[in-house]
Structure 1
Amino acid sequence: MQELTRKQKLFVQALMQLDTSRCRELLAGQQTSEDCSTHPEEIVVPALENIGQAWETGHISLSQVYMSSRICEKVMEKILPQDSTPQESSTRLAIGVIEDYHALGKRMVISSLRSAGYKPIDLGHGLKAEELVEKALQEKADILLISCLMLASAIHVKDVVEGLNRAGSQIPVVVGGAPFRLYPALWKETGAHAVGNNSADAVKIVRDLVGRQL
């Protein structure tokens, strides 16, 4: 994993101390000499990846991972646009979180997609593979996006892809999240059609897939 910047390290430290106010200050560019024009996602995503890796190596508890994610969600809720009105789009995008309850990545992707003119359907989080397949089919999704924070969740993407195949569906599956950045070949092993490193990537991938479907 790439070495964290000073600001990212400070953010990790604040998360480990459960200091919501400090996290908010860092994302607002306060109390730091670094460039405050950095997009919040560039601080939050690497920090959560670092914390997730610390859990996988046994250095912190799962509860610390959970609380860190919840703090990030709370802070980012104040930053991400809430009332953007998407343009009309006939493409049905569905997005969900498989097997865990860390919804921040999903929230950031939804925000970016809405800003780009799409109306993503939020399938929820904490979903089992079969539930995600069922919901995607019920919503008649043209593209399914799956967000994962933990490796244990990411490996179940393969179950989703296989479930869609058994149902005779050709829905492209796009994945994103820390496990796919830590293990670059993982997305191919799961059978996903594409992987994005951040919410901006998700928009680019969706546009490309929509272009192919037209």
Structure 2
Amino acid sequence: MDKQELFSRAKEAIVDADESKALGLIAEAKNENFDLLELLLSGFGAGNQEIGERFDKGILSLPELIYAAEVMKSVTNRILELLKAEGENPPTKKGTILLATVAGDVHDIGKGIVASTLRTAGFDVIDLGCEVPVDVILEEAKKHNADIIGTSALLTSTMLEQKKLEKLLTETGDKDSFITMVGGAPCTPRWAKKIGAGGYSEDALEAVKVALELMEEKNKK
């Protein structure tokens, strides 16, 4: 089985919410020495994106979305277990990142993949879930002494919550205490720059890259 076929089958397993098939593919990929993290992002992740798009278009109901999300979580947890078992030593802690999907937005799947990938890369991740108000985000960031606050917005209407967070950080004098990152389908590097966020990432792999770069800059100060 070649890589593209594996990715295609993995995507299909998530779209069909077939947990048994998905876990079977992971075992098969491991036996054939495929890169499991790449499988998670490019295979199962593609299915996750397809599910989100179908929900946005009204093709998929909320219960169906939640069911697919549970399968995705099982897949992610299984791959992370295998990656952890394969690692001889745990990665050095890179920093603490707090993640949240903003208020008014129920999309939680993509952020879950980002959280898992960041953990694999060595970050401590506090995932607040979805529909989180900005004041709660700031409160939790202080509580956990976070280095980075990452917010996800999958709807154009909820992007304004990311702007609201930047405003709150400025008003409370906490702007210099936390690095902020934004992501989500309607977000762009231009949006991040416009609202004053420290970084932007399009997907989980880029989130790790950007977070590492931002932490490197912070540690130089």
Measured against the shorter chain, the TM-score band is 0.7 to 0.9
Aligned residue among 96, 99, 107 for 1:95:
99
Write the distance in 2 (CA, Å) between the matches of 1:185 and 1:134.
27
Q: Once the two structures are superposed, what CA deviation does each residue of 1:176-198 show, in whole Å capped at 9, x if it has no partner?
A: 34444xx6755455543211233
Instruction: Letter of the 2:180 partner, please give it.
Output: V
Instruction: Letter of the 1:42 partner, please give it.
Output: S
Instruction: Letter of the 2:48 partner, please give it.
Output: L
Q: Which residue of 1 aligns with 2:179?
A: 172
CA offset at residue 136 of structure 1? Answer: 1.4
4+ residue segments displaced more than 6 Å: none
Instruction: Letter of the 2:138 partner, please give it.
Output: V
* C-alpha contact 1:98 1:153 (8 A) present in aligned 2: yes
Q: Which residue of 1 aligns with 2:163?
A: 158
Q: Once the two structures are superposed, what CA deviation does each residue of 1:36-66 show, in whole Å capped at 9, x if it has no partner?
A: 5452211122222222122222222222222
Change (3 A) 1:73 1:101: farther
Aligned-residue CA RMSD (Å): 3.4
Q: Once the two structures are superposed, what CA deviation does each residue of 1:137-173 show, in whole Å capped at 9, x if it has no partner?
A: 3333232122455556554222222222221122221
Q: Which residue of 2 aligns with 1:26?
A: 25
Change (3 A) 1:60 1:6: farther
* C-alpha contact 1:69 1:102 (8 A) present in aligned 2: no
Structure 1: which 5+ residue stretches go unaligned?
none
Write the distance in 1 (CA, Å) between the matches of 2:93 and 2:17.
40
Write the distance in 2 (CA, Å) between the matches of 1:151 and 1:70.
25
Instruction: Letter of the 2:18 partner, please give it.
Output: D
CA offset at residue 69 of structure 1? Answer: 1.4
Write the distance in 1 (CA, Å) between the matches of 2:97 and 2:139.
15
Q: How does 1:4-15 map to 2 (within 5 A)?
A: 10-15=9-14
* C-alpha contact 2:182 2:199 (8 A) present in aligned 1: yes
Q: Which residue of 2 aligns with 1:138?
A: 143
- Secondary structure of 1:137's counterpart equals helix
Higher helix share: 2
Count residues with an aligned counterpart: 203
TM-score between the two structures when normalised by the length of structure 2: 0.71
Change (3 A) 1:191 1:49: farther
Write the distance in 1 (CA, Å) between the matches of 2:186 and 2:5.
23
User: What is the identity percentage for the equivalent residue pairs of Structure 1 and Structure 2?
Assistant: 23
